[in-house]
Amino acid sequence: MSLEKREKNINGRVYTLLTPPVRQAMPICTNLATLLGPVIGSLGSDVKAGGMLKFASALQGVDPASLDSLFMRAIEVAKLTHEGIPITDEVSFERHFGQHPGDVYQVCAWALWECAKDFFPQLDALRQMTQQAMAGVSQSPSAGQ
C-alpha cells in the first residue's frame, strides 16, 4: 500500500485525500472489522442477495458513536481536502459540511473505504451497498422541510 492521491466528485465538489501508510491504516481496519464483523456475518455468503433491505437491517446493530469516530479518524488520517483546504479537524469539518450537508456521509464512507480497501478487497459488494445507502441518506429531505 503506497501513498496515493485520490479524488472523488461528490455533488459537483471535488474532494481529495491521500491513502494512508499501512501503519496508520491498520487501526482503522481493525476497528472497521470489529464494527462491521457482525454486519458482514449477518449478510451471509452472498452480500448482494437481499439487497438494501438486508443491509439496512444488519446496520441497525452498529454503534453510531463508534462509526462516527471511525469516519472522523479516516478523514484525519487520509488528510481530506476540498479545493486544497483541509477538512480534518472539527472546526473545518463543521464549516465545510455545514454548507454542504448532502456530501457528508458519502465523503465519510469514501474516506473510510480508501483507508481500508487494500486490506479488504473481497468486500467490494459491501462497499457498493454502503455507497448506495449513504447516497440515499444524503438525498433524503431534512426533517421539517
DSSP H helices, the chain, are: 22-43, 51-59, 64-77, 90-99, 104-116, 124-139
Residue 63 contacts residue 35 (beta carbons within 8 Å): yes
19: which residues sit within 8 A by CB, 6+ positions away? 1, 2, 3, 4, 6, 25, 78, 114, 115, 118
Taking the whole predicted model, whether its pTM rises above 0.85 is answered as no
pLDDT score at 141: 47
Q: Tens digit of pLDDT per residue, the chain (145 long)?
A: 568 999 999 999 999 999 998 999 999 888 888 887 766 655 555 545 555 565 566 667 778 898 899 999 999 999 999 999 999 999 999 999 999 999 999 999 899 989 988 887 656 666 666 666 666 655 544 434 4
pLDDT at 142: 46
